[in-house]
Amino acid sequence: MSNFFKSTTFKVLITVAIVLLSASILATLTSTSTSPLTNVVSVITSPLQNVASYFSAKFDTFTGGFVSSKSYQDRVAELEEQVAEYQKQLVDYEKTKKQLATYEEFLDVREKNPDYKWVHATVIGRDSAEIFGSFTIDQGSKHGVKVNDAVISGEYLIGVVTEVSPTSSVVRSVFDPSVNIAAYEIRTGELGYVCADYKLSVDGKCKLAGLKTDTAISQGGIVCSSGTGGIFPKELIIGVVKEVQKSETDLSAYAIIEPTVNSKEIHDCFVITSFEEE
């Protein structure tokens, strides 16, 4: 019997009894209605409940973050669509603004020359290897465009149609070697013809050739088409005289001209499909 009181089992029983007695006394002192066993179990399980609550809160935070990230991605996609739409509207606005400016420049020419028939055209292509400023427009034979039609920007002559397809045309600039234009200088009235010179064409210039040796044309003079030959309408401005030189091949002189409008920079133009003197 004495061995039982010394055994581990007895010690465990004594420990449990002491714990239950202590819990009972504590419950009595705090006037709670719960049983001692319940209190003991509560003391034991409370830390486990706290741990569970902690991990549950962390999981809820993670889930909330995941939902927020998805919402953020949806919002970013929506904003990107809005930006793309605004950019498209901006492109349309800039295009319309340029076309309006082109029409305003042409208005004076149209009022002065009501006999002109014309079509508006947009530049749709350029040859980067072509140094004379030729370009392709989006109007062709189905729109009434034909070879030798004059191409203008406002009141300025910038080129002539040299090739035509049903829906597009090729325009050669005034400083292209293949283009010759009957012209005159407005102050002196002296006649000549605008033609290209390779060295001048590279610099975006051309020359008014066939002038008198003692020509009175000087720097700053304005050169216009004369209408001779019926290919180009008269009074279209070609360019401004930069200097006058003597010809090296005959007794004539020529004026170096810089076109007022650079055909390499235009985006919209007009093709004169017919006019009274044609």
Q: Under a CB-based contact definition with an 8 Å cutoff, are residues 238 and 193 in contact?
A: no
pLDDT tens by residue, 21-78: 665 655 555 544 555 555 544 555 555 566 556 656 655 555 555 556 767 777 777 7
Whether 151 and 159 have beta carbons less than 8 Å apart is answered as yes
Q: How far is residue 141's CA from residue 198's CA, in Å, rounded to a whole number? A: 31
Helix locations, 113-195, DSSP H: none
Does the pTM of the predicted model rise above 0.75?
Answer: no
Domains of the chain: 2-58 (no CATH), 113-274 (2.40.10.340)
Nearest-angstrom CA–CA distance, 161 and 152: 11
What pLDDT was estimated at residue 248? 79
Q: What does the pLDDT average to over 251-268?
A: 88
Other beta carbons within 10 Å of 18: 10
Q: Which of 164, 194, 156, 153 is nearest to 177 (CA)?
A: 194
pLDDT digits (tens, 9 = 90+) for 218-238: 999 999 999 888 888 998 999
Please give the backbone phi and psi of residue 106, each rounded to the nearest 5 degrees, phi first.
-80, -15
Contact, 275 vs 157, CB < 8 A? Answer: no
What are 83-100's pLDDT values in tens digits?
777 776 776 666 666 666
